[in-house]
Amino acid sequence: MAPAQQATYDFETGIYRPPSEGGSYSLLLRFTRNCPWNRCDFCAMYKTEKFELRPPEEIMADIDAVAALVRDLQEISRQRGQGGQVTREAAIELINRNPDLNQHHGFAMVFHWLLSGGKTAFIQDANSLIMPTDRMVTVLRHLRTTFPSINRVTTYARSKTIAGKKHEELTAIREAGLDRLHVGLESGDDTVLKRVKKGVTADGHIKGGRKAMAAGFQLSEYWMPGLGGRDRWEAHAQETARVLNAINPHYIRSRPFRPLPGTPMAEAAQQGDFQILSPHEELMELQRMVEALEITSRVCFDHAGNYWTDRRGDLLFTHSYEGYQFPDEKPKVLARIQEGLTADNQTPRFLRL
Ligand code: SF4
């Protein structure tokens, strides 16, 4: 069988996904474009882009295009006597037959996804749950039917959007095949949330988080050490722990604040209106937050922004996606923070203004 024409391989992917989805070489599928909120003062991700819903037919055509690519790679592999296993040689031959694949934005992503077993998918962009529930369910079912090898589908979602859905809607989405939500909590302190224009209150975070848990999603909550600056660090630490205790998500992931060029917060820092914490102050904030955590979550530092080291110069925390199991490993994390407080930590160049 000759591979399908290149035009059938047309599908769209976005830029951003959580590190854990890169680590597992997830299939990236774009259900919506950009961010429907797009106002957070620390964020530079979609600032020049306009939010758009995509019609379900268009998304399902993308899924079919990926399926055509997979089918043709497997067919070439069989023709080469490689038993349908996707190999580098099969990929090169498909590119030779379809030179336009050299410029295809998603070809390498699909190839690596297949090489790593074709097990996980990530739905882009910033808040997929904004899709009307019936459309989301239709598209998720199509994804799961087309690729039965997928055993985990995840996406980003805003607390406020989750809180605005009925329990039955969330359950329907969950049952249609969405397993895990990645939520940007950032802070549990209302003053900080308002100041950075997060568009949700601490109560809204708790409501959204609890509804996600009640609907059976695996929940990852991302918090941002340093986001309160020098004037709010204690409230930021204590209130964030309070909100996380109320949710008790599966994962708590640390994403330290970094002043990104062009954002209002970087500008405020440059003007002296926002005081960025020193590494020592960040660790003190972290200590306060971790001490107050009463959860059974996995606490993770799975990002390069968690740069702190011990006295030997080794990273203070593992960057593993599975992190530390609380409460068992809470003393270990606190001991590492104490160790970091005695080391000479400097702010790395990539975190400076
Ligand atoms: S909701 Fe997320 S993607 Fe949108 S502006 Fe805020 S941080 Fe950025």
Query: Which residue is closest in CA terms to ligand 1's atom 5?
Result: 38
Q: How far is the CA of 89 from the centre of ligand 1 (A)?
A: 40
Strand order in the sheet with 251-254: 27-30, 120-124, 152-157, 180-186, 218-223, 251-254, 298-300, 324-325
CA atoms of 340 and 338, how far apart (whole Å): 5
Model confidence over 340-352: pLDDT tens digits?
Answer: 999 988 877 766 6
Cβ atoms 277, 299 nearer than 8 A? no
Residue nearest to atom 6 of ligand 1 (CA): 40
Counted residue by residue, the chain has a size of 353
Ligand 1 pocket test, candidate residues 33, 45, 187, most atoms within 8 A of CB: 45
Give the distance (Å) from ligand 1 centre to CA of residue 161: 13
Structural domains present in the chain:
1-135 (no CATH), 158-353 (3.80.30)
Minimum CA distance residue for ligand 1 atom 4? 38
Residue whose Cα lies nearest atom 8 of ligand 1: it is 43
pLDDT one digit per residue (tens) for the chain, 353 residues: 444 444 479 999 988 888 878 766 899 999 999 999 999 999 999 988 999 999 999 999 999 999 999 999 999 999 999 888 889 999 999 999 988 888 888 899 999 999 999 999 999 999 999 999 999 999 999 999 999 999 999 999 999 999 999 999 999 999 999 999 999 999 999 999 999 999 999 999 999 999 999 999 999 999 999 999 999 999 999 999 999 999 999 999 999 999 999 999 999 999 999 999 999 999 999 999 999 999 999 999 999 999 999 999 999 999 999 999 999 999 999 999 999 999 988 877 766 66
Which of these, 193, 163, 190, 162, lies nearest to 42 by C-alpha position? 193
CB 75 within 8 A of CB 3: yes
**Backbone φ and ψ of 81, nearest 5°:** 80, 25
Residue 126 CA to ligand 1 centre (angstroms): 7
Ligand 1 mutation pick, 16, 35, 42, 185, max ligand atoms within 8 A of CB: 35
Annotate 154-188 with DSSP letters as a single string: EEEE-HHHHHHS-HHHHHHHHHHT--EEEEEEE-S
pLDDT of residue 254: 97
Global pTM? 0.92
Instruction: Specify the pLDDT at position 285.
Output: 98
Amino acid 163: pLDDT:
98
Give me the pLDDT at residue 5, please: 46
**Residue 182, φ and ψ in degrees, nearest 5:** -105, 115
Rounded to the nearest 5 degrees, what angle is found at the Cα of 35, between the Cα atoms of 51 and 119? 110
pLDDT digit string (tens) for 278-292?
A: 999 999 999 999 999
CA 142 vs. chain centroid, Å, equals 23
pLDDT at position 22 is: 72
Question: Residues enclosing ligand 1, CB less than 6 A?
Answer: 35, 37-40, 43, 45-46, 126, 158, 184
CA 227 to centroid of ligand 1, rounded, Å: 14
Say what the pLDDT of residue 24 is.
67
Q: What is the distance in A from the centroid of ligand 1 to the CA of 42? A: 9
Pocket test for ligand 1, best of 34, 38, 130 (most atoms within 8 A of CB): 38
Atom of ligand 1 nearest to the CA of 156: 2
Q: Amino acid letter at 89?
A: E
Q: What is the tens place of the pLDDT at every residue in 128-155?
A: 999 999 999 999 999 999 999 999 999 9
Rounded Cα–Cα distance for residues 80 and 264 (Å): 55
| Rounded-to-integer distance, Cα 278 and Cα 321, Å | 26
